[in-house]
Structure 1
Amino acid sequence: MKKLLKRYSPNPDELKNHKHLGWLGKHLHHSSLWNFNRKSISKAFAIGLFCAFIPIPFQMLLAAPIAVISSANLPLSIALVWITNPITMPVIFYGCYKLGSWILDVSIEKDLVMSLEYVWQVFNVIWQPFLLGCLIVSIVSSVLSYLLIQFIYRYKVYKRVKGF
């Protein structure tokens, strides 16, 4: 798996000389941003999944600086935000809305239509449960993914040491 990820990751030397990357360009030479080890991958999953469930456009622009600041694997952090893409976003965000409605004990909009026009019309009613659901899913998925990656790495080391 590591070889596959490394093969499709961009070359950091080519990226740091790009003028379009602004302040990120000078930070892209840090090797921790390109490592595929337990720490950097765990952090990348936490960052990528946290940003994936935040209902803003261009979530990658949020994930990239957080990955640089926290020395997480940059390509993986950015790639994971695509869990919420134009195809999956309506279903995922509707689930977040339902979770927030259930927690706040708010009745769910019965005639909810998956269109931006309709969402803007009823935004004053749905914004609190929607944002609460997104925040909960962001935090829970972030923490669980971090812990799961840590566990998987440690389990693999345990198996290697025990000779399984």
Structure 2
Amino acid sequence: MPRRFLQRYMPNPETLRRQRSLRFLGHVIGDPGLWALSRRTVANAFSVGLFSAMLPIPFQMAVAAFGAWLLRCNLPLSVGLVWITNPLTMPLVFYGNYRLGAWLMETPAREAPTRISTRWIAERMADILPALALGSVVSAVLLAVLANAVVRLLWRWRVSRSWKRRALKRRRRRLERDT
């Protein structure tokens, strides 16, 4: 079942609550609803986490945590999925978002220099920002909706498959017992 797989990698809420840097969030971290693993909470956590990951803003993890609290979905998954846009993947993802935004705005996209620097970004920010913002929001919404649907379908398929296997085992046991 997907729940057992996810529980193996989940941090312990009690351990997190005892950490000095997170004490001020103790009442939030200790909320059992934010640690539940159900089809709804996991699918919504994927939506919140991937939506937050696509936004070119600082404090993406805080946005994901607030979204998890707001939607009552799984907090660790929401926050962990933000790391899809880590320092290695961030330039590629945000450049792709920029290209998507430029395409949607029907403006020519600037080619990336051979070496991207903060100076280059600062000089081009006024030109880049509208397309980057539009592309990021569009990709965030599309990815969130797609992730939610895929997680729900996969979860349902796994549960259905598990039920069928258990029914088959029960039939086999009955046949062995009757013979």
Report the counterpart of residue 53 of structure 1 in structure 2. 54
How far apart, in 2, do the equivalents of 1:111 and 1:135 lie?
21
Structure 2 residues without counterparts, runs of 5 or longer: 169-179
Shift of the 35–156 alpha-carbon distance from structure 1 to 2, 3 Å rule, reads same
Large movers: runs of 4+ above 6 Å: none
Report the counterpart of residue 154 of structure 2 in structure 1. 152
Alignment of 1:11-160 (within 5 A): 11-18=12-19, 20-21=21-22, 24-110=25-111, 112=113, 113-160=115-162
How far apart, in 1, do the equivalents of 2:155 and 2:7 lie?
18
How far apart, in 2, do the equivalents of 1:157 and 1:19 lie?
39
Aligned with 2:109: secondary structure?
Answer: coil
Show CA shifts across 1:88-133 (max 9, x none): 0111111001000011011111354522110110111111111100
- Give me the TM-score of the superposition, normalised by structure 1: 0.89
Aligned with 2:56: secondary structure?
Answer: coil
Q: CA deviation at 1:152?
A: 1.1
Aligned with 1:35: secondary structure?
Answer: coil
> Which letter maps to 1:83?
I
Shift of the 16–22 alpha-carbon distance from structure 1 to 2, 3 Å rule, reads closer
> Which letter maps to 1:152?
L
Is the CA contact (8 Å cut-off) linking 1:47 and 1:63 kept in structure 2? yes
Bigger radius of gyration among the two: 2
Paired-residue identity, %: 36
Is the CA contact (8 Å cut-off) linking 2:64 and 2:79 kept in structure 1? yes
How far apart, in 2, do the equivalents of 1:140 and 1:23 lie?
34
> Which letter maps to 1:52?
A
Per residue, is there more helix in 1 or in 2?
Answer: 2
**Number of residue equivalences:** 164
Shift of the 45–111 alpha-carbon distance from structure 1 to 2, 3 Å rule, reads closer
CA RMSD of aligned residues (A): 2.0
Is the CA contact (8 Å cut-off) linking 2:17 and 2:23 kept in structure 1? no
Structure 1 residues without counterparts, runs of 5 or longer: none
Show CA shifts across 1:29-48 (max 9, x none): 22221122201110110000
More displaced stretch, 14-23 vs 74-83: 14-23
How far apart, in 2, do the equivalents of 1:105 and 1:72 lie?
37
More displaced stretch, 108-117 vs 142-151: 108-117
- Give me the TM-score of the superposition, normalised by structure 2: 0.82
Shift of the 17–69 alpha-carbon distance from structure 1 to 2, 3 Å rule, reads farther
How far apart, in 1, do the equivalents of 2:162 and 2:10 lie?
27
